[in-house]
């Protein structure tokens, strides 16, 4: 991706941590309460050392979480941004995006 903006917002989806649970609900009233298991999410920009924590939300009826990171500050040139989710057992999933700022 190429941009002239000073910051960007990134979003995506990832797995639900293994220890996450759904509670409640009945066949006639299928309301569920979701409690994500222990996890951490971070983003880092290798170009300038900036980092932060994305906001994540579990889509309760599904087995994935959506996340949003931003604003992510960009340096001139190539910016390699890595978003990593680590679950309670130490399993990690990373997404890497390269953004070029003119």
102 residues of the chain, pLDDT tens digit each: 899 999 999 999 888 887 888 777 666 766 667 877 888 999 999 999 999 999 988 877 788 889 999 899 999 999 999 999 998 888 888 999 999 999
Domain assignments of the chain as residue spans, ordered by start:
2-101
pLDDT of residue 33: 76
Residue 3, CA atoms < 13 Å, CB-side half-sphere: 13
Class of domain 2-101: mainly beta
Q: What is the DSSP letter of 26?
A: -
pLDDT number for residue 32:
67
The answer to whether residues 48 and 59 touch, using CB atoms and an 8 Å cutoff, is no
pTM of the model: 0.82
- pLDDT at residue number 52: 97
**pLDDT for the residue 25:** 67
SS3 content of the chain, % helix, strand, coil (to 5): 0, 60, 40
């Amino acid at each position: 991706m190429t941009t002239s903006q000073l910051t960007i917002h990134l979003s995506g989806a990832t797995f639900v941590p293994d220890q996450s649970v759904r509670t409640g609900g009945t066949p006639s009233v299928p309301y569920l309460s979701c409690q994500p298991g222990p996890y951490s999410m971070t983003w880092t920009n290798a170009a300038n050392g900036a980092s932060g924590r994305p906001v994540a939300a579990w889509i309760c009826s599904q087995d994935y979480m959506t996340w949003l990171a931003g604003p992510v500050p960009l340096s001139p040139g190539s910016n390699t941004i890595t978003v990593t989710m680590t679950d309670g057992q130490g399993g990690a999933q990373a997404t890497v995006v390269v953004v070029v700022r003119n």
